């Protein structure tokens, strides 16, 4: 049964927000107005409940992790304040029922952004949670590649897209038009008279009134939404800009063409992120099919003469590598949904790597048995894209291809992003960053831990 203290704490961590939010005069006045006899809790009591629940849930999670194998860590770097950098470390594994489980472990102060400092922090987290020897991969966002470590390192897909987009915004041919678009939207956002004029004209012309989005940072999806809204309304915006004597903010023909090219170059990314269904985290096995979709769609735009698509296509190839000979081929091959969507070279490389890993693992299969097993898996009909590959390997896959099952679950348990999909590819990420930046440092780790894990433990 939830006590008043626990309900209040759950409200605080669900957003998440500072403990101060529950002791402000306005909040107290609201509570008294609802129930004058209700006891008003002070900050000390709330913090005691925070510590108690945190320790309770931490112990429960530690017990769960004790029985888990083949764990993947994700780590995300962010600035809590201008002078402080923090490291959020999460863990992921496939449970006995074939479900991908994800938990936030720690939010720790980062003493430096050098590889050695980050590795030291990660090692401390592993030791504190008893994960030494279980971690085989670390997926990172906003962090450098870690060298000389025992585990495999993977970049966060969402972060890679944001980095490439940031490079695009600073490109010599495009930086001015990006800046001008943001200035146009900022003008209408902060000049209430101008926005009212815009809406009145749209109303008279029976035009759709599209929300003006002012993006922050390098989140490409928000920029795409801004550019699409801007192009849709620019004709009417020009009428207002002329009246307000802001002709310098009117886009010329060349700038409009560049914006259309930017939108067309970013749409393949939006198409792919919409294919990453659901919330939480998704297996890295989906990445190669998605990257192929991006590269193919950008290639079509390049054929149409889209110079922005050409720039982005080149950046994708540089950052993600050759999709026809890719390091993720084995993960995709072991996913029963996508095993037949590899090109011949990827398939050949995946089978070669798979044989090497199974041989190194000293399975009971002879060379001939291994060949027969792989041939049987190759010829097996793919499962539907809506199926759960983890559950398939825990049940059907284990029965039919036992020697492959353990390795498949290990490889498929690597996640594609260092943050949940709903934060990676939506405006929710910005809101979450803003909320967590207001939390007191001494409570930050506990509040974010409970925010991420309380419903799941």
pTM confidence score? 0.89
Higher pLDDT, 28 or 243: 243
Instruction: Encode pLDDT of 68-105 as tens digits.
Output: 989 999 999 876 555 568 899 999 999 999 999 999 99
Does residue 1 surpass a pLDDT of 60? no
DSSP symbol at 77? E
Report the percent of the chain where pLDDT is more than 90.
65
**What value does the mean pLDDT take over residues 184-210?**
93
The region, left, alpha or beta by phi > 0 then psi within -120 to 50, assigned to residue 135 is: beta
Tell me what the pLDDT averaged over the chain comes to: 90
Taking the alpha carbons of 316, 319, 324, 328 in that order, is the dihedral positive or negative? Answer: negative
Distance between CA atoms of 14 and 7, rounded to whole angstroms?
A: 10
Give the residue with greater pLDDT, 21 vs 308.
308
β-strands 135-141, 152-155: how paired?
parallel
Q: What is the pLDDT of residues 125-137, one digit of tens each?
A: 999 999 999 999 9
Instruction: Calculate mean pLDDT across residues 203-220.
Output: 86
DSSP 8-state class, residue 311: H
Q: How many CB atoms lie within 10 A of CB 149?
A: 15
Cα–Cα separations (whole angstroms), residue 256 to 227, 252, 259: 10, 6, 5
DSSP readout, 195-231? HHHHHHHHHHTT---PPP----TT-HHHHHHHHHHHH
Q: Is the pLDDT of residue 456 over 70?
A: yes
State residue 449's pLDDT score. Answer: 94
d(CA 373, CA 383) in angstroms, rounded, equals 18
Lowest pLDDT segment from 24-33, 188-197, 222-231, 312-321: 24-33
- Could you report the per-residue pLDDT of 348-383, keeping only the tens digit for each? 999 999 998 888 877 677 888 888 999 999 999 999
Distance between CA atoms of residues 353 and 393, nearest Å:
19
Closest of 60, 43, 159 to residue 101, by C-alpha:
60
For residues 62, 65, 71, 75, the Cα torsion angle rounded to the nearest 10 degrees is -20
End-to-end CA distance of the chain: 16
pLDDT, position 365: 76
pLDDT at 145 over 60: yes
Write the CB contacts of 290 (distance below 8 Å, at least 6 apart in sequence). Answer: 272, 275, 276
Tokens 């934060």 appear where? Answer: 423
Minimum mean pLDDT range among 82-86, 211-215, 256-260, 442-446: 82-86
């Amino acid at each position: 049964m939830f006590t008043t203290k626990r309900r209040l704490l759950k409200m605080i961590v669900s957003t998440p927000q500072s403990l101060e939010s529950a002791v402000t005069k306005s909040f107290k006045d609201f509570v008294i107005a609802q129930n004058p006899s209700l006891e008003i809790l002070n900050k000390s009591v709330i913090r005691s409940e925070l510590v108690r629940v945190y320790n309770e849930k931490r112990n429960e999670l530690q017990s769960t992790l004790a029985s888990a194998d083949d764990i993947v860590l994700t780590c995300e770097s962010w600035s809590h304040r201008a002078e402080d950098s923090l490291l959020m470390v999460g863990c992921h594994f496939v449970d006995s029922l074939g479900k991908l489980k994800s938990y936030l472990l720690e939010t720790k102060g980062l003493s430096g952004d050098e590889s050695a400092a980050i590795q030291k922090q990660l090692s401390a987290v592993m030791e504190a949670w008893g994960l030494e020897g279980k971690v085989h991969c670390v997926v990172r966002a906003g962090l450098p590649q870690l060298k000389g470590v025992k585990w495999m390192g993977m970049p966060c897909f969402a972060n890679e897209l944001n980095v490439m987009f940031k490079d695009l915004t600073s490109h010599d041919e495009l930086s001015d038009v990006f800046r001008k678009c943001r200035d146009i939207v900022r003008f209408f956002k902060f000049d209430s008279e101008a926005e009212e004029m815009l809406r009145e004209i749209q109303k008279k012309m029976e035009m759709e009134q599209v929300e003006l989005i002012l993006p922050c940072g390098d989140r490409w999806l928000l920029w795409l939404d801004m550019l699409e809204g801007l192009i849709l309304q620019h004709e009417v915006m020009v009428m207002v800009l002329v009246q307000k004597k802001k002709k310098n903010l009117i886009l010329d023909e060349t700038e409009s063409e560049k914006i259309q090219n930017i939108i067309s170059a970013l749409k393949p990314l939006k198409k792919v992120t919409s294919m990453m269904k659901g919330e939480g985290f998704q297996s890295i096995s989906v990445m190669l099919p998605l990257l192929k979709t991006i590269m193919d769609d950008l290639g079509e735009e390049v054929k149409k003469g889209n110079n922005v698509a050409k720039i982005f296509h080149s950046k994708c190839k540089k950052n993600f590598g050759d999709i026809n000979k890719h390091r993720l081929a084995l993960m995709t091959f072991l996913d029963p949904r996508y095993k037949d969507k590899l090109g011949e070279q990827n398939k050949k490389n995946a089978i070669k790597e798979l044989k090497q890993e199974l041989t190194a693992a000293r399975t009971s299969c002879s060379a001939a048995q291994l060949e027969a097993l792989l041939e049987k898996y190759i010829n097996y009909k793919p499962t539907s894209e809506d199926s759960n590959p983890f559950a398939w390997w825990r049940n059907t896959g284990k029965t039919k291809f036992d020697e492959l099952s353990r390795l498949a679950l290990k490889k498929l348990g690597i996640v594609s992003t260092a943050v949940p999909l709903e934060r990676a590819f939506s405006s929710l990420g910005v809101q979450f960053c803003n909320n967590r930046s207001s939390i007191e440092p001494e409570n930050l780790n506990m509040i974010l831990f409970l925010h991420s894990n309380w419903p799941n433990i």
